[in-house]
Chain A
Amino acid sequence: MDNSEKLALGLSGFLLVLFFGAIMYAAVAKDIDVPTCITDMDPFVTDTLFQTGPDTYELQMVARMWAFQPSTVRLPVGSTVDLYVTSQDIIHGFKVEQHNVNLMAIPGAINYMRVTFNKPGEFMYACHEFCGAAHHTMAGRFIIEERLDEPEIIGGTL
Chain B
Amino acid sequence: MSDYTFRFSKSEKRLVAVLIIIPMVLLFIGVYGGLMQTLFRAGIIQSDPFVGGDYYKGLTFHGVLNAIVFTTFFAVAFGNAIIPYSLKKNLNATIAWIAGILMLVGSVVAAIVILIGEATVLYTFYPPLKAHPLFYIGLTLLVVGSWVASANWVPMYLQWRKENEGKKTPLAVVGMFTTFIVWFIATLAVAVEILFMLLPWSLGWIDEINVMLARTLFWFFGHPLVYFWLLPAYVMYYVFMPKLAGGKLYSDMAGRLVFMMFIVFSVPVGTHHQYMDPAISSQWKLLHGIFTFAVALPSLITAFTIAASLEYAGKLKGSKGLFGWMGKLPYFKKENWFFAYLITGLIIFIFGGIGGIINASYQMNTVVHNTAWVPGHFHLTVAGPVMLAFLGGSLYLVAQFLNKEVRLKAWAMLSPYVYTIGLLIMSYGLKIGGLMGMPRRTNTGASYANPDSVLYQADWIPYIDLTVIGGSIMFVGIVMYIISFFTTVFSKSKGAEEDAIVTFPISEPLHDEPATWLRNFKPYIIIAIILIVLSYTPVIYDVLQATYGGSLPFSPDSPVPLR
Contact = CB atoms under 8 A, between A and B. Distances in A.
Contacts of B554: 65, 89-90, 132
Contacts of B285: 34
Interface in B421-478: 436-437, 439-444, 446-448, 455, 457
Contacts of B491: none
Interface residues of B, number: 80
Interface stretch (B5-13, B150-158, B175-183, B289-297): B289-297
A27 B285 CA distance: 12
Given A34-B275, A34-B362, A128 B440 contact: yes
Nearest to A110: B278
B129 interface: yes
Contacts of B305: 5
26 contacts: A1-B253, A33-B363, A35-B276, A36-B283, A39-B545, A43-B548, A65-B554, A86-B278, A89-B128, A89-B561, A100-B363, A104-B276, A108-B550, A109-B547, A109-B548, A124-B455, A126-B437, A126-B439, A126-B448, A126-B455, A128-B369, A130-B122, A133-B556, A135-B56, A137-B455, A139-B455
A64 B286 CA distance: 30
Given A34-B282, A108-B211, A133 B546 contact: no
Contacts of B276: 34-35, 93, 102-104, 111
Given A89-B559, A132-B559, 18 more contacts: A12-B301, A23-B362, A26-B362, A35-B277, A35-B278, A91-B126, A91-B215, A97-B436, A103-B276, A106-B279, A107-B211, A108-B547, A109-B279, A131-B556, A136-B443, A136-B447, A137-B455, A139-B455
Contacts of A90: 126-129, 551, 554
A101 interface: yes
Contact of A137 (B277, B446, B555): B446
A19 B448 CA distance: 35
Nearest to B129: A90
Contacts of B371: 95, 128
A66 B559 contact: yes
A152 interface: no
B149 to A, nearest CB: 32
Interface string B25-68: 00000000000000000000000000000101001000000000
Nearest to A8: B304
Contact of A100 (B282, B367, B448, B557): B367
A72 B370 CA distance: 22
Interface string A1-41: 11011001100110110011011001100001111111100
A16 B370 contact: no
A130 B441 contact: yes
Given A91-B211, A97-B437, A107-B551, A34 B365 contact: yes
A148 to B, nearest CB: 23
Given A5-B251, A97-B436, A108-B548, A19 B278 contact: no
B542 interface: yes
Most buried by A among B254, B446, B547: B547
Q: Of residues B253, B437, B546, which shows the largest number of chain A Cβ atoms within 10 Å of its Cβ?
A: B437
B247 to A, nearest CB: 16
Interface of B: 54, 56, 59, 122, 126-129, 210-212, 215, 250-251, 253-254, 274-283, 285-286, 289-290, 293-294, 296-297, 300-301, 304-305, 308, 357, 361-367, 369-371, 436-437, 439-444, 446-448, 455, 457, 511, 513, 542, 545-551, 554-559, 561
A127 interface: yes
Contact of B278 (A13, A98, A111): A111
A129 interface: yes
A52 to B, nearest CB: 21
B277 A111 contact: yes
Interface string A137-157: 101000000000000000000
Interface string A68-90: 00000000000000000010011
A132 B301 contact: no
